Structure 1
Amino acid sequence: MSAKKLLLLAGMFYMQVTMAQDTRYIYLSGTDKDHTVAWDFHCSGGQRSGKWTTIPVPSNWEQQGFGSYNYGHDKVKADEQGLYRYRFNAPDQWRNKQVNIVFDGVMTDAEVKINGKLAGPVHQGGFYRFRYDIGSLLRNGSNLLEVKVSKQSANASVNRAERNGDFWILGGIYRPVFLEVKPLVNIDRIAINATAKGHFSVQAFTTALPDGATLSAQVLTMDGKPLQEAVTTPATHGEVHTLQQQFDHPATWSAEYPNRYQAVVEIRKGDQVLHRVTQPFGFRTIEVRPRDGIYVNDTKVILKGVNRHSAWPETGRTLSKAISLLDVNLMKDMNMNAVRMSHYPPDTHFLDVCDSLGMFVLDELTGWQAAYDTITGHRLVRELVERDVNHPSIIAWDNGNEGGFNRALDGDYALYDPQERPVLHPWERFSSVDTKHYPNFNYLVNASLYDADIYLPTEFMHGLYDGGMGAGLADFWDRILQHPHGAGGFLWAFADEGLVRTDKNGIIDTDGNHAPDGIVGPHREKEGSFYSIRELWSPVHIPMTVIPTVFDGRIPVENRYDYTQLGGCRFTWQLLRFTSPGKNTRTDTITTGTLAAPDLAPHTKGYLQLPLPDGWQDADALYLSVQDIYGRNILHRSWPLSSPMKHVKQFPAANGRLNITNNHDTLYVDNGSGVYAFSRATGQLLHIRTPKGKISLGGGPVLAGVSQQLTSFSSGDDSTGYFISVRYEGSGFLQLKWHFKPGVPAQLDYSYNVKGETPFTGITFRYPEEKVTGLAWIGEGPYRVWKNRRQGQLFGNWYKDYNNTVTGESWIYPEFKGYHANVYQATFYTQEPPFTFYTGNGGTFLQVFRPEAPKGASNNNTTPAFPDGDIGFMSAIAPIGTKFQDAAQMGPESQLNVMLNPPVKGTIWIGLP
């Protein structure tokens, strides 16, 4: 035999021996929602019950058309059972192996049989990995696996903790099922503690080891390069073995720098490897320093977090790594650095993604306002921590939620976690951390003034419908940053938990107002708060809101990173011109460039310097974008450079003649482009007729939200052309003056005064909503704004088709109706001829109809006040509240409006086709 063949055979033998010493994972189910395996299935109640058929595994059976739906708040819940059968083969060589069957998640009680015999005690608890050693039950060849799954647990505390929670209650084998095949002498699991100062310790839990065996551990980079020689220790007669090493200046793990290594732990007998385990990990130290803050690697961190349910509309709690990547990337796109598992442990692939991309994680034992009993809790804490202990992303364990704390379990976490991560009680003060849920702004002010505890709300800014989260966050966040012991917080929640109902023709159901509280929709559709949060939580903070009159290109900037020098970020800028507003919007880039970022240390301030070219003032807008050290876009800012009058100055010169007609109570003004009809009795515009057809714009202008009486109406000629002057009085006043010239858009000058506090101020018109098909505008967009949610929009050239979206109840975004900020001009496309408004005042808000109130709303907190009119030009608009608080409790930006320097004066023009 040739030397080449000998080397090839030797290599193949080495690979077989090496692979034989690693644990083999053999999936009996599929691996995720997109890769499933059909098992035999029988459901005892609800849809498609009472007969044997097949079901994909993993899955929730409701999402496959079986059983019954329940939300945790339902008083009466279905109690169906699912029977599963699956045959698999066991080769003869497994007789000398340990074979475990592993279930990553079953809802809720699982009775497992192999070839008709129980594999072990019934497992209770729907969110935890469990396993049975089934080697003694296997036959050579075909084997029958049977699983009886009870949706309701026989353990009352499990039902209270899990099945009565504020989330969907589902059933089934919803996470993967697999076999672990490994040598009889093996490593059961390992638990790593690797500190930021380079101390590495690993606990190896093994079977009984033969005399003369050794254990070794070696740390490698993720691409397999050893940091230094392995550490080895002789085997003892115990089943826990600790190996330790010291490393000089390892690259530490954090949310900004998620550096990872891998530990290879082996059992050896002489030169033979009996078993090997490879485990990724990170060097990282967590500390809670009372009366100070939370420290990671000796650096105080501010957690910018969100709560996440594990859910997808079509598949319930059966997910995939692709969804984990999608979700974590969306969080990081919002500049979040933390996520709380609400209210149960997630899929392992989600934690893997948090490890690799960099997210601080609070991992949670289920207990929604009710706790497991102590015996059950001891077991489930162990299952939770043993599965997740080596993830560097996990910085704390949550022992239940909102009163669901079994305090007898607080000490259990450290039994299985050599890092001794902190244990939190979300919603209460515990271990020097105040995690109070849903504080109002006054609570934050008082806490920052008087409280000694670290403040970390594990739920705040409830995002029901379009309220909360982005709205009011600027005030809340500024106050959290002012808190001497502020540690950040976790928004509620990441995504609307909507399920596709197989029993209701495929509608997406959020159970009224229980689950539509996300920043993104069920399929991760982005709400307006997505962009507000991105700006407010950007680690590159630019406080400049307007371009000053004397602008030399100098822009203040603050580095809000915890670890990163600002010099590693990339800054780009653009000068833009809006050349074709309308349906086919066009924006031209005049100049673009990159900026040298100042090398600011974390939490320091400095300046950017734009190299402004000659004539930069002729541009319409300045854009500035920032990418982080990984190329992720973390900030987009814009500033208008031109005034609204730039577009007005482009009107043609007056040409032709006016035609004035009186017909009983109606005054008609024909300026050549259209005929404007006014009522002398009300002073209001009635409609407009053009050569292309009627425009049903009328019913105004009136002063929004104020009852007034017409006190004067006059018309005639003056030096500017033909005018109509109208005055209303009541609670305040409204003065109007229309100006008409031949062939030129009609001009309306207005001034008004409103007394007292108001939710909004402005003038409005009527127009039939059912006739509108789209809107094009120059202004901030593309999302609507609230008084307390202005951040995140860009000044630009926008268009959107009409929709009647109710945020959180339908998911076509951006929503069509609402307030739009700093609008210079707006064209309404309709079933009639289009018409365009031009504004003469910067800062004008355009009101576009009135958003419908959510059907599931239990209060008006998330249904802000709107004018009765359909199209309005506002100087002040309303704030929005949250599920639990009206806007008045949410800080300075969320208060009602008071006119400080009346009257308000403005001008608009109406352009016709």
Structure 2
Amino acid sequence: MDLETFTPGSGRLEPRAALRSDAPALDLNGTWRFRLSPTADVPADFADPGYDDSSWDDLPVPAHWVLHGHGAPAYTNVRYPIPVDPPHVPNENPTGDHRRVFDLPDGWTGGRLRFEGSDSFTRVWLNGHELGFSTGSRLPVEYDAGPHLRPGRNVLAVRVHQWSAATYLEDQDMWWLPGIFRDVTLTRSSADVFVHAAYQDGRGRLSFDGSGTLSVPELGVTGLRPGEEVTLDVEPWTAETPRLYDAELTLPEETVRLRVGFRTISIEDGVLLANGRPLLLKGVNRHEFHPEHGRAVPYETMREDVLLMKRHNVNAVRTSHYPPHPAFLDLCDELGLWVIDECDLETHGFGEVGWRGNPTDDPRYADALLDRMRRMVERDKNHPSVIMWSLGNEAGVGRNLAVMADWTRERDPSRPLHYEGDRSCAHTDVYSRMYATHAEVEAIGRGEEDPLDDAELDARRRRMPFLQCEYAHAMGNGPGGLAEYQELFERYPRLAGGFVWEWIDHGLVHPELGYAYGGDYGEPLHDGNFVIDGLVFPDRTPSPGLLDLKKVFEPVRFAFGDGFVRVVNGHGFADLSHLEFVATVTVEGATVAEHRLEVPAAGGECKLPDLTGGPDGERWLTVRAVLAGDLPWAPAGHEVAWGQTRLAGPATPSRGPAGPAFVRDGGELTAGGCAFDAATGRLTRLFGLDVEGPRLDLWRAPTDNDRYGGLEGRWRALGLHRLTHRVDDVATGDGLTVRTRVAPAATDLGMWATYRWTFDGGLRLELDIEPDGEWPDPIPAIGVTMSLPGDAVERVTWFGQGPGEAYQDTGLATRIGRWSATVEELQIPYVMPQENGRRAGVRWADLGAFRVSGEPEYGLSVRRWSTDELAEARHLPDLVPGERVHLHLDLAQQGIGTATCGPGPLPVYDLMARPATLRLRFDPS
């Protein structure tokens, strides 16, 4: 049957550029009639214009039918949800029939039916006449509608099959979502044009292929003909300075409007260049996703994505793993993002069977792969933002890559080619890897990577720039290690940067679960929450990971000296004239002075004003770079970068005179409103408040990185989630000393923990911790936990790092200050609940009922559920506030890393069992 054909389509017109034309067009989006069948073997009588579809349902187009009550979504990462048996597909093949009735305006003649995207095999009829079929879900296709259009009423019938031979080319780590999910248009435009706008040595060169004449009024260009070239004084296009010139292509039947950007991408001496300057990609991978609409992403959401990226110092996007809606590239042109445009190709599931039968190396699939590459290049060839073509993703190696690469080089030699799946880089112009460790990235930067067996290919690859097309897997809490990657990218010219995986959590809105992930729709085969791996939550709220990335990607850096700050311009193509610089002095987090700094446009050393005066205490200087005026992507005052330095250390803490000794009162030892159990030495009352703890804890709710990286399994095998506590001695004297051993069952490993309590008007704890035995692996945490009555804490005010969470290798976006949040606001709503919300570097925290000070500092978490409840939760609604507030005060936690896909924490961030002392002081508020 046709579904199992290797042919990519029939009846289609030649691919052409996505253009804005004044030719008449009908928008055919809207409400269509819809019927779902469980198999593909359904009569095609619905294509008859007189067919009665009154019993059918309504369905919006664009849409995925599974998100509108017809079937259900399914998620897999690598594995195909159908048997790997190309080109065959199961008989159980959900098939959606769509009908749209529209009226043709008077005098209309000719036209093309254009489908921007339909998943996965689409057959089209117009007024009962079959126009053809097409595959390539995320690529446009056009049919000649003219011969079959009628005055007045017309009937468009479209059949979409979920599974086809083309499914084997579309195994891209995402929800399986069939349907007509992009725009449908009837247009009388037939224009095509390929504008060449290069920039070199300070001047632009303009020419074009096609027909008609081209005009650029702002540049004085009129009537430019195909093949003619003019050299002009122009401003170049870059992601930092996205200068566009309005152009018009005049044809006999229509006028096309374009926006032209002059830029040249080149490679010299192994360095990627834009307009002759080194180009450092500070990128993200972006799937198209909306929590309610799937890949039918509204324009407003696309714009929001680009604005969020710009506001978080992202300068590049890889369109993983298919071309996006064409409007997204318009936005990248307009607002400024470098783009790697990726072909709609991934065959990752063949890796599960040893790459046997991989379409990338199957000559029967050659036409289909070339067809996908052609349609992408032809559609997107006029976008200055597109700086590379990518042959696809995780599709192994094979002869069809050469077919795609050879055609693309001939059609568009101005853009380098990218593909990661072939380590030899035989068909690419850049060396690309995924999830290389920091050590490997440094070796590549130095030109010392492991050699290929083929000496000629090895020498060729060593002359290429290197980029990480995926790194720093942003799943759950994390990613860690961002700063260390960026330092390498900036140190070695060969390293062109990379793209964090990925932009957004693919959580689908669910009435009971909040957001759904793999398995939540009863799929027999799924990959769980691996689809929840973004820098923004499903509603596009920035995660702590995105805030950290903004800090790492800052285009301005600050170095502080005695009486001056050195401002370093890290832009590649712009100076600092669009920024203002504000210096703020704080003491204990309270602002005492603010100054405007005069910073040269090129950057440099800037003398600081007198920063003394004001109260004693821990004094900090923060210098912020903010937009001096409104820009298209952010308003004046938007913070682009910041730096911070301590001017003076903390004031010496004041202590009251030694208080009374602990007094035995029945079964308690008391002092100043505080009470301990006399037998166990456990604190039970704190300034009149009923408390449990604090006691040593080595556990945390595992993160996704802990889980996928294997640490959680080793921690649970050791029993760190079920510690036992043995009291060996309770002694009074100058204070209260409690000696304990803390250990899990079934092992001889443990921790000696000695609590020393004193009272001087406040209650002071010095906890000495000593490992017992040889601990082989990092441990989750070293700290204490305690619980309080649920109404004891509503809001927390603290002096330390904030306002967001921070761990050993994250929290780069946090700065020293005074912050305040409710207990609920302290939680980070990761779609899959896990360890979160830790505030680091806390000097003191006021919890309302009492204050906890560190000597010198500690990590703080406050929750309305226990660690065990957090660890057991699978969705946010599982977390139900209890009758207690749980307080966690730690010395340190294990680093976060990016081991869900990539390396774990760097060794310096591993928390190994070691002697340690935690010093805390509790005072009444």
TM-score over 0.5 (shorter chain) = yes
Alpha-carbon separation, structure 1, partners of 2:827 and 2:280: 35
1:23 maps to: 23
Alpha-carbon separation, structure 2, partners of 1:790 and 1:802: 19
The 1:255/1:133 distance shift into structure 2, 3 A limit, reads same
Question: Percent of counterpart pairs with the same letter?
Answer: 25
1:583 maps to: none
Summarize deviations over 1:289-309 as a string: whole Å, max 9, x none.
3x5211110011110111011
Alignment of 1:712-723 (within 5 A): 713-716=730-733, 723=735
- Are the counterparts in 2 of residues 190 and 202 from structure 1 also a CA contact under 8 Å? no
2:684 maps to: 687
Summarize deviations over 1:696-716 as a string: whole Å, max 9, x none.
232536799899976654323
2:841 maps to: 822
Task: Indicate which of 370, 374, 394 corresponds to 2:386.
Answer: 394
2:816 maps to: 795
1:661 maps to: 664
Alpha-carbon separation, structure 2, partners of 1:641 and 1:519: 34
- Are the counterparts in 2 of residues 382 and 416 from structure 1 also a CA contact under 8 Å? no
Q: Which amino acid aligns with 2:116?
A: D
Task: Indicate which of 405, 412, 427 corresponds to 1:410.
Answer: 405
* 1:382 Cα deviation from its structure 2 partner: 1.8
Secondary structure in 1 aligned to 2:124?
A: strand
1:864 maps to: none
- Verify: 1:42 aligned to 2:35, yes or no: yes
1:161 maps to: 169
* 1:389 Cα deviation from its structure 2 partner: 0.7
Alpha-carbon separation, structure 2, partners of 1:324 and 1:404: 31
Alignment of 1:120-135 (within 5 A): 121-135=132-146
Alpha-carbon separation, structure 2, partners of 1:808 and 1:520: 10
* 1:285 Cα deviation from its structure 2 partner: 0.3
The 1:808/1:416 distance shift into structure 2, 3 A limit, reads farther
1:264 maps to: 248
- Are the counterparts in 2 of residues 764 and 873 from structure 1 also a CA contact under 8 Å? yes
Alpha-carbon separation, structure 2, partners of 1:540 and 1:784: 23
Summarize deviations over 1:710-748 as a string: whole Å, max 9, x none.
66543235xxxxx2234568978655432223xx22122
Task: Indicate which of 602, 606, 609 corresponds to 2:607.
Answer: 609
Secondary structure in 1 aligned to 2:812?
A: coil
Alpha-carbon separation, structure 2, partners of 1:493 and 1:321: 20
1:569 maps to: 579
Task: Indicate which of 508, 512, 526 corresponds to 1:499.
Answer: 508
Task: Indicate which of 706, 716, 738 corresponds to 2:757.
Answer: 738
* 1:423 Cα deviation from its structure 2 partner: 4.0
Secondary structure in 2 aligned to 1:487?
A: strand
Deviates more, 1:68-77 or 1:396-405: 68-77
The 1:616/1:596 distance shift into structure 2, 3 A limit, reads farther
* 1:422 Cα deviation from its structure 2 partner: 3.0
TM-score (norm 2): 0.78
The 1:627/1:299 distance shift into structure 2, 3 A limit, reads same
Secondary structure in 2 aligned to 1:841?
A: strand
- Verify: 1:350 aligned to 2:328, yes or no: yes
* 1:637 Cα deviation from its structure 2 partner: 4.1
- Are the counterparts in 2 of residues 231 and 244 from structure 1 also a CA contact under 8 Å? no
The 1:657/1:735 distance shift into structure 2, 3 A limit, reads closer
Secondary structure in 2 aligned to 1:252?
A: coil
Q: Which amino acid aligns with 1:257?
A: T
Task: Indicate which of 201, 204, 208 corresponds to 1:203.
Answer: 208
Summarize deviations over 1:485-535 as a string: whole Å, max 9, x none.
111011101111112358x78743255132111111111122211121111
2:784 maps to: 764
- Verify: 1:508 aligned to 2:525, yes or no: no
Q: Which amino acid aligns with 1:697?
A: E
Alpha-carbon separation, structure 2, partners of 1:886 and 1:679: 50
Summarize deviations over 1:325-380 as a string: whole Å, max 9, x none.
21112212221110100111101111111111110001111222355621112222
- Are the counterparts in 2 of residues 645 and 840 from structure 1 also a CA contact under 8 Å? no
1:472 maps to: 481
Alpha-carbon separation, structure 2, partners of 1:609 and 1:178: 60
2:547 maps to: 531
* 1:322 Cα deviation from its structure 2 partner: 1.2
1:242 maps to: 227
Q: Which amino acid aligns with 2:236?
A: T
Secondary structure in 2 aligned to 1:122?
A: strand
* 1:607 Cα deviation from its structure 2 partner: 3.2
* 1:138 Cα deviation from its structure 2 partner: 1.0
1:748 maps to: 765
Alpha-carbon separation, structure 2, partners of 1:837 and 1:518: 35
Deviates more, 1:782-791 or 1:140-149: 782-791
Alpha-carbon separation, structure 2, partners of 1:890 and 1:702: 21
1:483 maps to: 492
- Are the counterparts in 2 of residues 286 and 296 from structure 1 also a CA contact under 8 Å? yes
Alpha-carbon separation, structure 1, partners of 2:258 and 2:439: 47
Q: Which amino acid aligns with 1:57?
A: V
Q: Which amino acid aligns with 1:43?
A: L
* 1:808 Cα deviation from its structure 2 partner: 3.9
2:235 maps to: 251
- Verify: 1:103 aligned to 2:115, yes or no: yes
- Are the counterparts in 1 of residues 565 and 606 from structure 2 also a CA contact under 8 Å? yes
* 1:777 Cα deviation from its structure 2 partner: 2.2
* 1:477 Cα deviation from its structure 2 partner: 1.9
Alpha-carbon separation, structure 2, partners of 1:645 and 1:677: 31
Alpha-carbon separation, structure 2, partners of 1:142 and 1:870: 67
For the aligned residue pairs, the C-alpha RMSD in angstroms reads 3.5
Number of positions where the alignment pairs a residue of Structure 1 with one of Structure 2: 785
* 1:170 Cα deviation from its structure 2 partner: 0.8
* 1:856 Cα deviation from its structure 2 partner: 7.5
1:809 maps to: 831
The 1:559/1:106 distance shift into structure 2, 3 A limit, reads same
The 1:591/1:763 distance shift into structure 2, 3 A limit, reads same
* 1:421 Cα deviation from its structure 2 partner: 4.1
The 1:266/1:847 distance shift into structure 2, 3 A limit, reads closer
Larger Rg: 1
Task: Indicate which of 297, 300, 314 corresponds to 1:319.
Answer: 297
Alpha-carbon separation, structure 2, partners of 1:784 and 1:427: 39
* 1:655 Cα deviation from its structure 2 partner: 11
* 1:778 Cα deviation from its structure 2 partner: 2.0
Alpha-carbon separation, structure 2, partners of 1:897 and 1:600: 45
The 1:494/1:53 distance shift into structure 2, 3 A limit, reads same
Task: Indicate which of 719, 724, 737 corresponds to 1:725.
Answer: 737
- Are the counterparts in 2 of residues 464 and 883 from structure 1 also a CA contact under 8 Å? no
Task: Indicate which of 177, 186, 190 corresponds to 1:170.
Answer: 177
1:582 maps to: none
* 1:690 Cα deviation from its structure 2 partner: 4.7
Alpha-carbon separation, structure 2, partners of 1:670 and 1:346: 67
Task: Indicate which of 579, 591, 594 corresponds to 2:593.
Answer: 591
* 1:128 Cα deviation from its structure 2 partner: 0.6
- Are the counterparts in 1 of residues 764 and 922 from structure 2 also a CA contact under 8 Å? yes
Summarize deviations over 1:393-421 as a string: whole Å, max 9, x none.
00001101123563121122245436344
* 1:126 Cα deviation from its structure 2 partner: 0.7
Alpha-carbon separation, structure 1, partners of 2:419 and 2:659: 77
Summarize deviations over 1:591-623 as a string: whole Å, max 9, x none.
22221123336xxxx434331344156475433
Query: Structure 2 unaligned runs (5+)?
Result: 1-19, 43-52, 83-89, 349-358, 450-461, 519-526, 700-719, 743-749, 876-884
Q: Which amino acid aligns with 1:322?
A: E
Alignment of 1:296-315 (within 5 A): 296-315=274-293
- Are the counterparts in 1 of residues 805 and 840 from structure 2 also a CA contact under 8 Å? yes
Q: Which amino acid aligns with 2:394?
A: E
Q: Which amino acid aligns with 2:195?
A: I
* 1:823 Cα deviation from its structure 2 partner: 0.5
Alignment of 1:761-910 (within 5 A): 762-767=782-787, 774-796=795-817, 797-802=819-824, 808-810=830-832, 817-828=836-847, 834-842=849-857, 844-846=858-860, 848=862, 850=867, 852-853=870-871, 871-884=887-900, 889-897=904-912, 907-910=919-922
